[in-house]
Amino acid sequence: MFLNMVKCPNCGEESSSNFCPNCGEKLEKKVICPNCAAQLDPESVFCSECGYKIEAKNEDEKASDEEEKTEETKEYDKDEITEKETSEEIKRCPHCNDILDEDDAVFCSNCGKAINADINSSNGIIESINFKKLIIVSILGFIVSFVLGIILSLIIGLTGQGTIGYPIALIIALFIGVGFFASFFEDILNSGLTGIIIGFVFGLLSNTCVEISSGLQFSYQLFSGYEIIIFTVLGLIFALLANKFLRNIVLKYIDVDKYF
């Protein structure tokens, strides 16, 4: 069982990297059945075409192979880097600083971003935004924050500490939602945008959290009408803090790259 070149579903380019070097599309790696050469998912135990059992190597063999591959990769990378540096032809991704697989690559195979975009220009900033992941993560973050806001507001309402408790409950709910989901991004730009989006939408509906928790028995006004601005700013602050301090903790339990 071994990994092979994967054809990009978007442009047809073949590559063994995580992202297509031609268009930046994320590539799903496959394995080849040693009996019929059919492409299978990496977790497959039996071939879906011929029923052949995909034999897993024992732990000692795996460890030995991994050690050999690591040493070979290190030697290869070292030789390749030395050769390129000597000839002054080394090219790195301006976004993640990874060495490019191909000198004429349009997109980085490690982070999937455009190579030639100036990260300090407006086009470079736009190219650095992962819109698909940003939208999905922001929606999930808002849902979590909103639901937590309702639950915490309900608890505060039962204790009779609404005047002081509701604002604190909503801020805690926003912190949890933004803190967790903004950690999904490695760069500050996308993390910050996640916090801004979640904070803005949450600010729009923050009063609704309290009203729903009370069974819509009264109309609530938080922060004298400035809740949108306040929660948007708080969302940005929470996102930046999460990117710096919480990301490593979250990644211990969530394999973000597996889902995005």
Q: What is the pLDDT of residues 42-93, one digit of tens each?
A: 677 788 788 888 765 434 444 555 555 555 555 555 555 555 444 446 677 7
> Which three-class secondary structure string do you get for 224-235?
HHCHHHHHHHHH
Average pLDDT of 16-33? 74
Per this entry, what is the length of the chain?
Answer: 260
Look up residue 243 and give its DSSP letter.
I
- Between 142 and 259, the higher pLDDT residue: 142
More confident position, 67 or 102: 102
Do 200 and 226 meet the contact criterion of CB atoms below 8 Å apart? no
Q: Please return the burial class of 153, using the count of CB atoms within 10 Å of its CB with bins 0-12, 13-18 and 19+.
A: buried
Q: What is the pLDDT of residue 71?
A: 57
Residues forming beta bridges with residue 39, ordered by sequence position:
32
Nearest to 4 by CA among 28, 32, 34: 32
Report how far Cα 157 is from the mean position of its chain's Cα atoms.
Answer: 36
Q: Please, which residues have CB within 8 angstroms of residue 229's CB and are 6 or more apart in sequence?
A: 203
Mean pLDDT, the chain, whole residue set: 78
- pLDDT, average across residues 184-207: 94
Q: In angstroms, what CA-CA distances link 152 with 18, 89, 174, 254?
A: 41, 57, 11, 25
Backbone region of residue 223 per phi and psi (left: phi > 0; alpha: psi in -120 to 50; beta: other values): left
Instruction: Give residue 47's pLDDT.
Output: 83
Tokens of 139: 């929606």
β-strand pairing of 14-15 with 6-7 = antiparallel
